[in-house]
Structure formats: C-alpha cells, structure tokens
A and B are shown apart, each in its own frame.
Chain A
Amino acid sequence: MKKSSPTFILSYCVFLIVVGITGCSEKSAEETRPPLKSPAYLEEATPEPVVVSEKTRETYQWYCAQCHGIQGKGDGINAKFLTVPPRNHTKAKYLETRTDKQFFEAIKFGGLSVGRAPCMPAWGNTMSDSTIHELVRYIRELCQCEAL
C-alpha cells in the first residue's frame, strides 16, 4: 500500500469522527444515503403473487417483533433504547410512500442500505429472499396499504 499523506489521514479521521459519532443509541444526525446498487434479482419480476405463510408470520414474531413489536406497531422491547424508533408497520400514511423494493432492501441489507437508520439490522444471511418477499407482503398486510 502507498504511504498515506498526513492530510489524507487527517481527513479520514475527520470522516470517521463525523460518520462514526452518531450511532443507534445516541442522538444521531440525518442519515447519509449510500449509493444504491440495483442487483439483478430485483429486476426479475416475481411472477406469482406472494402468499404469506404461517412460518413467515412466526419469523416476524421471532426476529422482527423484538423491535417492531408483536403487532408491528414499533413498540418492541428494544424500541425505547433506540434513537431512531423502529418503524411502525401499521402506519399506512408513511408506508405508502415506500416501495416494496425499498422494504426488501431494508430487510435484506439493513436500514443503512436504503438511507434509513442503522439500528435496523440486515437479515440477508439469516433468511432466504423468498421469506423476505413474504415479510414485505406481511408488512403490507399490517399497514393495509400498497405503495402509491
């Protein structure tokens, strides 16, 4: 590796401080939006309608409810310890403004990937894409809303 100049190191430190200072449990500034990649699997339209299985409902209870709450109201047991509250999955007014693709990416790659808070973890290694598609449907069920 090339030897880095002091100014580079300095600006890197400033970057780390600025970006690193705001976490999930401390007051955080507005999130910066990382560049969105648009992977191939998202371009392929899912032909069959996604049906939310019983197993996926249990998956939501097992993994998601600890933050989003048993009924998806954003009041899980971790909620009051996070600076950015977990999204209320029953609030149509906001959720209509988000696309299914944004939901999918938030769940698979975490909140940061769609310009939302990093307190929302990435679940892409924990569950399959088809489960995540079902979770997106389940959230649409909870909010009784579709993307506008």
Chain B
Amino acid sequence: MKNFLYLLMGGWLLCNPMLSHASLIQEKKCSECHRLSKDENEKSGPDLFYAGNKFQASWLKQYLQNPMTIRIAGGTGDPGFLKGIQANSQKHPALSKKDAGQVTKELMALMLLELPEEVDLLEPLTKGQKAKIKYEFERTFSCISCHQSLNLAGKVRGGISGPSLVNAGNRLQASWVASWLKSPRTFSSKSRMPIYKMEDEARLRLTQFIATLKNENKR
C-alpha cells in the first residue's frame, strides 16, 4: 500500500511539470480546424504549421481577441464555397488578452526551417513603381480578380474567392508573401490561386505593394 502511494506520488510529480507545460494551443483545440503540422490531412481553417513565418505577431494577438473575416467567401475547401454559402462558417472563438498573448507566442514558434525567399527591409515604392505595380496587380497577374485590395484612392476593390489583402500589410510578413508568390506549393498542395513564374523584381514589387495595404489607409 505504501509502495503504491509512492508510485502514485512519483507519477504525479513526474506528470505535473508536463501538464503545466501543455500548450494553450492544445487546450484551446486549435488543431480541430487548423493543421499544426504539415503531415496532417487538410483541415477547414487556414494552415498554422508555418504561422511563425506568415503572421505579424501584433496582428495575430489582436485577431485572436477580436477575430474578423479575412476569407469573405469562406475556406476554399468548404462545400458551400463555390455557391457563396459559408457552410462551415462558425465564428472564430475570441480569446482573452492574456490567452491571446500566450497563443500568439506558441503560434509564432511554429515555423518552417527554411523559406523559399527572405526579404530584407522594404524600401518605400516610388511613384513610377506604384503605377507599374497597379498595372501588374490588376492586369498582368489579375490578382484583383480574386483578392480585395485598396485602389489608389484607398477604396476597397476586388474579388472575394481569395483572402482579402486589405489589411495584409499589418497581417503578413513580407518574406512570407514573397515566398508564397515564389513557391506556393511549399505551403499548400491545394490552393485555387494560379502559380506564377515572375521575375524577382516583379515579385519584390508585389511584396512591397502588399505591405502597403493597411486598414488605416482605407478611405
């Protein structure tokens, strides 16, 4: 009986630190809708196994407390997606400030070891580049057909099948945007976006442009 108690105590002592280290991501059941590792099957929510490469921590922390819609037509895998019905549209749960901080920390630790492209500090776009980029975003690459963005007057324009880019400059890391444009299949084997083979310069310009899209620039 005494031995058994020791065993129980020992087990408890051993398990306790593990329990307190159990992640909040697990506790909040994020993995029910999001892939936290590349080996899992596709899930209804956006992949998070590269969240640390993709998101800006400050945005993530805000989003988790006050979730807003980014994919206006729902997830591309939703059964109702093409019909304009959001079949799986549960609202994203909102977390307390403290939990959002902790989950952000844990998500930012989920990273791919190597990104297809690393982008250094972005120079502001010149006037000429701005005209060029507008042409490319709307015409050469037809981005605007599926993505909402801001036009030169700060008005929201564009299609809805892709995620909105209206606040992408606050949401996404530049290196991730460039990496996605260079090699989308690194991140997702299934996406409805065309694959582009663009010049490095064009990719950088697009990345720079997307970094300028922010809610505060909306008119």
Contact = CB atoms under 8 A, between A and B. Distances in A.
Partners in one complex: yes
Contacts of A36: none
A81 B84 CA distance: 13
B146 A23 contact: no
Interface residues of B, number: 30
Given A70-B83, A81-B159, A121 B135 contact: no
A119 B82 contact: no
A69 B82 CA distance: 7
A138 B144 CA distance: 26
Contact of A112 (B73, B139, B144, B151): B139
Interface residues of A, number: 33
B216 to A, nearest CB: 21
Interface in B75-90: 81-84
A38 interface: no
Interface in A109-123: 110-112, 118-123
Interface of B: 73, 81-84, 128, 131-132, 134-135, 137-142, 144-146, 151, 157-161, 192, 194-197
11 contacts: A16-B131, A20-B131, A23-B137, A23-B144, A23-B157, A26-B157, A66-B146, A67-B159, A67-B161, A119-B144, A120-B142
